[in-house]
């Protein structure tokens, strides 16, 4: 990632509180006139939401009061039902007890109306059926009732007292009375347990209805008062602790959209909004780093790190723009091409060719002045924008001489020394130069003239024709030919 040494690019910008951002402020118009005007306000939305909440609380209080009365009525109905269940169990237990007494008389061979005994059994069976229709299925009451009925019938049948058996019962069966009494007692105990369960359910579910109603009304009224106070409190907090940070965030987004990636939001709160502001600052920093990286990639050559053709074109176009610095109107352009670069690739491979380009780029940087610009146009072509000297004289010649001087030393590709030469075309900007494209064409034309003139030389473009300004040194020519061979 490309960094900046300018502290102004990284220092967070503190956004002051805007007094216009009050509860009734008019939303500011976005900076972009093409963007549609905002038609909704978060602040108005929240205010309406609080009003709806308040109405809902009032309605809830009314519904609660009505509901309490309904619950009280339900409790009273439940109490009546439980009392009915308890009476059914108690009546059934008493009937079973009376029937048991007659059964003991029959077992002792006492004179008893056996038809009446059978009718009493049918009445008790009907009481069991009626109780089954009253008792609920939950809490095991129905199951306990069925078990009690089965035990009752089994106890009678085991002693010959069930149904038509009574008519055939003969003799004294007093010895069976203890077992019959125990079995009957078990049945009564189950019925008493059912009655007790009903009464316990009544104790658990039934309360003083008047006190409950008053308690719920008082509690609900208190809750309503708390809700009203909380609504008014949070509405005031909304303006201070929500709308102002949101407006600060909105301004920050607008600055990012405008290209101000150095803008940061002041994090003054350590809550969700503080986390949001921190996340925004992190996003802004990432955007700033990405913008720097993308800008560098768009304007620099990936292999050598030099400016690329786009950056060179932009630099030249800027110097031709109206209102540019007058000093930049007097500049020259060197168009540089490596002689016989294909032979280097053939001998050392593309990796060796790339290494040569990297080393050559470093030497070109060392040959120019700080305010000159070196660019790689692609392949083995380079360009140098050379500003004139302070006295107005062209500086392209001295810069080209220094370039040739730096090339006199061989390059080291791996473990192999390599001497290379370059052909340079020089174009000096004049009042007749129309634009940057023409200056590039002039330098390119001069470079091809240097190539056709024998390479390892530079030529200066002139409208009357190219004139060689420097012939390559014999020693350099010999070393170059030796290397290529």
Report domain extents, the chain: 1-18+41-262, 300-484
- What are the residues whose beta carbons fall under 8 Å from the beta carbon of 450, sequence distance 6 or more? 423, 424, 425, 457, 458, 459, 468
Phi, psi of 319 (to 5 degrees): -70, -25
According to DSSP, the β-strands at 373-378 and 411-413 are unpaired
What pLDDT does residue 13 have? 41
In this structure, whether the domain defined by 300-484 belongs to CATH 3.40.50.300 is answered with no
Predicted local distance difference test score (pLDDT) of residue 465: 54
Q: What is the mean pLDDT of the chain?
A: 77
381 by DSSP, 3-state: which? strand
**CA 72, CA 213: separation in Å to the nearest integer?**
7
Say if residues 154 and 193 touch (Cβ distance below 8 Å): no
Task: Give 328's DSSP letter.
Answer: G
HSE-up (13 A, CA, CB side) for residue 324 = 14
Cα–Cα dist 343/356, whole Å? 12
CB 266 within 8 A of CB 15: yes
pLDDT given for residue 11 in this prediction: 40
Residue segments in the chain with a per-residue pLDDT below the cut of 70: 1-43, 45-46, 63, 71, 74, 138, 198-213, 237, 240-241, 268-272, 323-329, 464-485
Q: At what angle do helices 436-452 and 309-320 cross, to 10 degrees?
A: 120
Q: Which run of H or of E encompasses 106?
A: helix 42-107
- Nearest 5°: the CA angle 357, 362, 363 is 95
C-alpha to C-alpha distance for 72 and 423, rounded to whole angstroms: 106
289, two tokens: 């780093």
Summarize pLDDT for 26-60 with one digit per residue, the tens: 444 444 455 455 555 656 766 777 787 777 778 77
- As given in the structure block, the two tokens for residue 112 are 């008893």
Length of the chain: 485
CA 94 vs. chain centroid, Å, equals 72
- Looking only at Cα atoms, what is the longest distance across the chain? 158
Which residues are marked as active site?
Answer: 380
């Amino acid at each position: 990632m490309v960094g900046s040494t300018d502290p102004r690019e990284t220092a967070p910008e503190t956004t002051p509180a805007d007094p216009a951002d009050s509860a009734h402020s008019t939303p500011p118009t976005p900076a972009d006139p093409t963007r549609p005007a905002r038609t909704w306000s978060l602040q108005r939305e929240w205010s309406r939401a609080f009003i709806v909440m308040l109405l809902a609380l009032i309605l809830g209080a009314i519904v609660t009061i009505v509901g309490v009365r309904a619950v009280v009525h339900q409790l009273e109905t439940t109490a009546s039902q439980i009392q009915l269940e308890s009476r059914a169990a108690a009546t059934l237990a008493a009937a079973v007890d009376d029937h048991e007494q007659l059964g003991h008389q029959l077992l002792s061979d006492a004179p008893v109306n056996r038809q009446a005994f059978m009718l009493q059994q049918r009445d008790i069976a009907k009481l069991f059926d009626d109780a089954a229709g009253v008792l609920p299925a939950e809490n095991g009451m129905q199951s306990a009732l069925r078990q009690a009925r089965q035990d009752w019938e089994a106890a009678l049948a085991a002693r010959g007292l069930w149904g038509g058996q009574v008519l055939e019962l003969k003799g004294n069966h007093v010895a069976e009375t203890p077992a019959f009494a125990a079995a009957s007692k078990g049945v009564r105990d189950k019925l008493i347990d059912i009655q007790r369960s009903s009464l316990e359910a009544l104790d658990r579910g039934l309360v003083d209805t008047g006190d409950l109603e008053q308690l719920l009304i008082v509690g609900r009224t208190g809750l309503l008062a708390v809700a009203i106070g909380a609504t008014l409190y949070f509405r005031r907090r909304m303006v201070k602790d929500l709308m102002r940070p949101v407006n600060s965030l909105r301004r920050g987004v607008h600055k990012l959209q405008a290209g101000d990636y150095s803008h940061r939001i002041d994090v003054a709160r350590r809550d969700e909004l503080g986390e949001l502001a921190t996340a925004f600052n992190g996003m802004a920093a990432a955007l700033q780093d990405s913008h720097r990286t993308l800008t560098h990639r768009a304007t620099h050559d990936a292999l050598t790190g030099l400016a690329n053709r786009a950056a060179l074109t932009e630099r030249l176009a800027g110097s031709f723009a109206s209102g540019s610095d007058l000093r930049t109107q007097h500049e020259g352009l060197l168009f540089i091409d490596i002689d016989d670069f294909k032979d280097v690739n053939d001998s050392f491979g593309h990796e060796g060719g790339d290494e040569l380009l990297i080393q050559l780029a470093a030497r070109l940087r060392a040959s120019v002045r700080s305010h000159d610009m070196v660019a790689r146009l692609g392949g083995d072509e380079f360009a140098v924008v050379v500003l004139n000297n302070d006295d107005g004289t062209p500086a392209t010649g001295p810069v080209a001489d220094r370039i040739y001087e730096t090339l006199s030393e061989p390059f080291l590709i791996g473990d192999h020394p390599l001497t290379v030469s370059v052909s340079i075309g020089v174009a000096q900007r004049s009042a007749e130069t129309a634009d940057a494209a023409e200056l590039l064409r002039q330098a390119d034309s001069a470079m091809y003239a240097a190539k056709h003139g024998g390479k390892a030389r530079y030529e200066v473009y002139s409208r009357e024709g190219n004139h060689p300004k420097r012939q390559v040194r014999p020693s350099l020519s010999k070393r170059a030919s030796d290397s290529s061979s």
